[in-house]
Amino acid sequence: MRATMRDQMVATVEDLLGRDERLAVLLGNISVTQMRAAMRRYPGRVVDVGILEQAMVSVAAGLALEGLIPVVHTIAPFLAERAFEQLKDDFCFQRLGGNFITIGASYDYSTEGMTHQAPGDVQILRSLPGMRLVVPGTPSEFDALFRAAYADGTPTYFRLSARRNPDDIPVRFGRAAVIREGSLATVVAVGPALAPTLAAAEGLDVSILYYTTAAPFDVETLRLHGRSGKVALVEPYYAGTLTPEITTALAPAPVRVEAIGVPREVLSHYGTPDQHDAAIGFTPQGIRARLIHLLED
């Protein structure tokens, strides 16, 4: 069985704990079993604070004020939504550095219902000045992006998913990768959305740009490859979240954006993630239909 993003997170953080004595990890009763070895090896720097997400973020801010580099880990809605005020006031307002790693992206915990689903995490955290947003598509991409950014003194959210692309892309923090070039439209695929996007775009004359950093958004690469005026944005969270970045990047030229992602509605069915994808059209077939609509319009 291939390693998951959570597996890679544990391996990456354990390695850095041994290399950087400033690193300190706070767990919100999540991934405690996976981090048990690290807790034994670094008892003063890996702590499970329990189901106290708001307090956990504030404690992490205190660690940052003391010169440590905090890593905070729990499920996405418990961090991005429940502890939003602490992220805003304790980290962004005070301009502190910290790393916030979540699992359970969108509806990975599909059968747990809305309390454990977070298709709105990138949308809400995008509103925080200074918050950087990272959406890796594979475990190895998380490793590269985390090592590049964890110690640079900026609050950074790492959105890990049970979904992954089959192949690693050589990614750089803050930069998009050009997967291929075309002339009729540009497709912006974010994180794990790349795999269904590539299948959907087979045989279509479109450019495909791969983004693993949602904020800061790579404006320059889009400007170079978005001259057709037609952009399909394929995001594994609420559809249209990055539309403002796209329209701003291409201004003042007019641009048509086809926003493809999770609809902004309550997902009240309790199927598997694959069943959710099928229900909302977030499949190669569903994405292809939207791409063809964009090209023909």
For residue 166, being part of any structural domain is answered with no
146 and 212 co-located in one domain: no
- Report the mean per-residue pLDDT for the chain: 96
Strand blocks (E) in 132-280: 132-134, 155-159, 177-180, 185-190, 206-211, 213-215, 230-238, 256-262
Closest Cα partner for 85 from 126, 57, 64, 109?
A: 57
pLDDT tens for each residue of 163-174? 999 999 999 999
183 and 148 co-located in one domain: no
217 and 258 co-located in one domain: yes
Give percent above pLDDT 90 in the chain.
Answer: 94
Residue that finishes a domain, picked among 129, 159, 189 = 159
| Residue 192 structural domain | 177-296
194 and 271 co-located in one domain: yes
101 and 22 co-located in one domain: yes
For residue 269, being part of any structural domain is answered with yes
Q: Helices 139-149 and 5-19: crossing angle, nearest 10°?
A: 30
Angle value at C-alpha 233, between 227 and 280, nearest 5 degrees:
150
pLDDT tens for each residue of 274-295? 999 999 999 999 999 999 999 9
194 and 117 co-located in one domain: no
pLDDT tens for each residue of 152-161? 999 999 999 9
Give yes or no for residue 239 having a pLDDT over 70.
yes
Give dist(CA 294, CA 258) in Å, integer: 7
Mean of the pLDDT values across residues 189-193?
Answer: 98
Place 2 in a pLDDT band, splitting at 50, 70 and 90: confident
Residue 31 identity (one-letter amino acid): S
Bigger pLDDT: 271 vs 208: 208
For residue 119, being part of any structural domain is answered with yes
**Rounded to a whole number, what is the largest CA-CA distance in the chain?**
60
226 and 98 co-located in one domain: no
Give me the number of domains the chain comprises.
Answer: 2
User: What CATH number corresponds to the domain at position 144?
Assistant: 3.40.50.970
Q: Kind and range of the H or E element at 26?
A: strand 23-27
99 and 237 co-located in one domain: no
pLDDT tens for each residue of 67-115? 999 999 999 999 999 999 999 999 999 999 999 999 999 999 998 888 8
Place 201 in a pLDDT band, splitting at 50, 70 and 90: very high
Residue that finishes a domain, picked among 124, 159, 194 = 159
User: What CATH number corresponds to the domain at position 200?
Assistant: 3.40.50.920
For residue 130, being part of any structural domain is answered with yes
For residue 170, being part of any structural domain is answered with no
For residue 171, being part of any structural domain is answered with no
Whole-number pLDDT of residue 126: 97
Residue that finishes a domain, picked among 127, 159, 191 = 159
Burial class (CB in 10 A: 0-12, 13-18, 19+), 183: exposed
> ω before 216 within 30° of 0 (cis)?
yes
For residue 168, being part of any structural domain is answered with no
189 and 96 co-located in one domain: no
Whole-number pLDDT of residue 1: 63
Mean of the pLDDT values across residues 128-152?
Answer: 98
For residue 198, being part of any structural domain is answered with yes
109 and 229 co-located in one domain: no
Give dist(CA 230, CA 244) in Å, integer: 14
132 and 230 co-located in one domain: no
pLDDT tens for each residue of 17-63? 999 999 999 999 999 999 999 999 999 999 999 999 999 999 999 99
Give percent above pLDDT 70 in the chain.
Answer: 100
pTM for the structure as a whole = 0.96
Give yes or no for residue 116 having a pLDDT over 70.
yes
Place 127 in a pLDDT band, splitting at 50, 70 and 90: very high
Burial class (CB in 10 A: 0-12, 13-18, 19+), 245: buried
Whole-number pLDDT of residue 269: 80
149 and 38 co-located in one domain: yes
User: Which token pair is 241?
Assistant: 């979240």
